[in-house]
Amino acid sequence: MKTMDKNTTQNEKEAKKDNRWKLISKLLRILEVIAITGGVIFALVQIRDVRNNQSAQLMLEFNRSLSAPANSRLITVIENGGPVLKENGGEFTTTDIDQYLTIYELLNNVHEAGLITDDMLYNAFAYEVVRTYKNQEIQTYLEKIRKEDKSFFIGFESLAKSLIKVDN
């Protein structure tokens, strides 16, 4: 009998020890899942922050390009409703217009690639893009050059139309 009691006690001790290890193992797995989840969340936050930083850097570059003297004057003329092209009494050549619209064309490409956030794009450029797009002289110029190739500045037009939708 004593041997049986001893075996039972021994078995109970081993069972308790085994249960403790199972409990510790479960706790370690839970901690592992929490650590992995925390790491994933941390990585996602870091990725978001890097993306926002890159977006801001690109915005600054586009702003710098648009702040160049010729582009700055062109923006002012368009904003004030004055004549743009030399042939209409303005001060700008078609090359000036092409260079200016190319910036918005590239801005559209960068935005479509997801490198600039919608909010940053809208807040920084919506007013100028929409004013430029709605300018009759610019529209006439686009119609003229698209007789040669319908794809000229299609990205600029797409960008303007998407920004107009946001305004409405």
99 to each of 8, 94, 136, 167, how far by Cα in Å?
A: 91, 9, 18, 26
Host H or E run for residue 92: none
The pLDDT score that the predictor gives to residue 2 is 52
- Across the chain, mean pLDDT equals 89
Give the whole-number percent of the chain exceeding pLDDT 70: 94
pLDDT for 158: 96
Q: What is the pLDDT of residues 68-121, one digit of tens each?
A: 999 999 999 999 999 999 999 999 999 999 999 999 999 999 999 988 888 889
User: What are the residue ranges spanned by the domains of the chain?
Assistant: 2-167
Confidence at residue 7, expressed as pLDDT on a 0 to 100 scale: 60
pLDDT 10s digits, 134-158: 999 999 999 999 999 999 999 999 9
From 166, 161, 96, 99, select the one nearest 134 (Cα to Cα): 161
Contacts 24+ apart (CB under 8 A), 89-92: 90/137
Mean pLDDT in residue range 12-41:
85
- Give yes or no for a contact between 85 and 93, defined as CB atoms under 8 angstroms apart: yes
Percent residues over pLDDT 90 in the chain: 57
Please name which of 154, 75, 159, 156 lies closest in space to residue 122, comparing C-alpha atoms.
159
Q: Report how far residue 164's alpha carbon sits from residue 168's, in angstroms, rounded to the nearest whole number.
A: 6
